[in-house]
Amino acid sequence: MLDRFITVAYYALINYKDVIPKPDQLSDSCQWYAIDELPNLMLDHTEIVAKAIETLRDNLDRNLVGRNLLPEKFTMKELQRVYEAILGAKLRRTTFQRKMLSTDLLVRHEKQYSGRAHKAPFLYSFRSSH
């Protein structure tokens, strides 16, 4: 008899701090791992994870991935951190900011004052029509 497996994979963008993974009947354990620190995975699951990351990165600009990872109003720096985490690379602040502002996806709001002079960043939100 041949043992065959069919794997169906989905990915979702969530704030991992808000979700506590729980093992099911088929799992010994279940926990979060940094993407570059995954343990050995069975069968072709390493390739499936790689494909999910590739798809996420390819769709980064089209799907507004930060929408459910950020508060309603956020700073450009917070948005850049989301992009850097997904891309696995540092981005130049000025280039990133110029690119994001040119997309017409963001609405700029009042500055977020932190008590330091001339250091208050603008707050942004995603345009609701996108």
Whether residue 122 is contained in a domain is answered as: yes
Residue holding tokens 């990915």?
11
Q: Could you tell me if 43 and 93 lie in one domain?
A: no
Whether residue 1 is contained in a domain is answered as: no
Yes or no: say if 109 and 122 are a contact pair by the CB < 8 Å rule.
yes
Whether residue 2 is contained in a domain is answered as: no
Burial (0-12, 13-18, 19+ Cβ within 10 Å), 66: buried
Q: Which residue has the higher pLDDT, 127 or 96?
A: 96
Number of domains the chain contains: 2
> How far is Cα 108 from Cα 124, in angstroms, rounded to an integer?
5
State the virtual CA torsion across 64, 66, 72, 75 in degrees, nearest 10.
Answer: -110
pLDDT of residue 114 exceeding 70, the answer is no
* pLDDT single digits (tens) 35-79: 889 999 888 899 999 999 998 888 887 766 667 788 889 999 999
Whether residue 90 is contained in a domain is answered as: yes
Q: Say which CATH number the domain at 104 has.
A: 1.10.10.10
Rg of the chain over Cα atoms, rounded to whole angstroms, equals 19
Report the pLDDT value the prediction gives residue 67, as an integer from 0 to 100. Answer: 75
pLDDT of residue 129 exceeding 70, the answer is no
Whether residue 67 is contained in a domain is answered as: no
* pLDDT single digits (tens) 87-113: 989 999 999 999 999 988 888 998 766
- What tokens appear for 2 in the block? 């041949």
Q: Could you tell me if 14 and 53 lie in one domain?
A: yes
Q: Could you tell me if 14 and 50 lie in one domain?
A: yes
Q: Could you tell me if 78 and 129 lie in one domain?
A: yes
> How far is Cα 51 from Cα 58, in angstroms, rounded to an integer?
10
Whether residue 12 is contained in a domain is answered as: yes
pLDDT of residue 84 exceeding 60, the answer is yes
Find the domain containing 108 and state its range.
Answer: 72-130
